[in-house]
């Protein structure tokens, strides 16, 4: 869909509540389990709780992935290349600053040297 200015806009609709969320210029989108949707636009990385409608914004990222086995969202910031691992059930975040990490086929593997 495009808005009035011609910008491509991603729509996410809750079929139960009929609430629709709009993300102009969004990309790198994925559903993280049944309760979360994530995407990036030109200004931020969005984490939308589909059950509550609460949205969290983070600095832009270069990569993200979701692990169904551990219910964890992983994202790598563009500016300072910091890896964040977030447990979506507990909302506990682990941030990796100094360790080396490798992106391997859409999986982020932490390698400590």
- Over 60: is that where the pLDDT of 3 sits? no
- Over 70: is that where the pLDDT of 4 sits? no
Per-residue pLDDT at 113: 41
Per-residue pLDDT at 28: 87
Distance CA 49, CA 111 (A): 31
Q: What percent of the chain has pLDDT over 90?
A: 50
Name every residue whose Cβ is closer than 8 Å to that of residue 81 and which is 6 or more positions away in sequence. Answer: 62
Report pTM: 0.78
User: What HEC string does 47-111 produce?
Assistant: EEECCCCCEEEECCEEEEEEECCCCEEEEEECCCCCEEEEECCCCCEEEECCCEEEEECCEEEEE
Distance CA 102, CA 100 (A): 7
Per-residue pLDDT at 10: 92
Summarize the confidence of residues 45-67 as an average pLDDT: 92
């Amino acid at each position: 869909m495009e808005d009035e200015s011609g910008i491509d806009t991603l729509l996410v609709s809750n079929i139960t509540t009929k609430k629709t969320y709009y993300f102009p210029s969004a990309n790198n989108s994925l559903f993280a389990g049944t309760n979360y949707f994530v995407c990036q636009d030109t200004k931020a990385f969005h984490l939308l709780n589909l059950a509550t409608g609460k949205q969290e914004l983070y600095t832009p990222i270069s990569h993200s992935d979701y692990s169904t086995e551990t219910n964890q969202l992983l994202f790598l910031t563009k500016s300072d290349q910091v890896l964040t691992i977030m447990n979506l059930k507990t909302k506990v975040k682990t941030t990796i600053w100094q360790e080396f990490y490798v992106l391997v086929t859409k999986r982020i593997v932490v390698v400590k040297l």
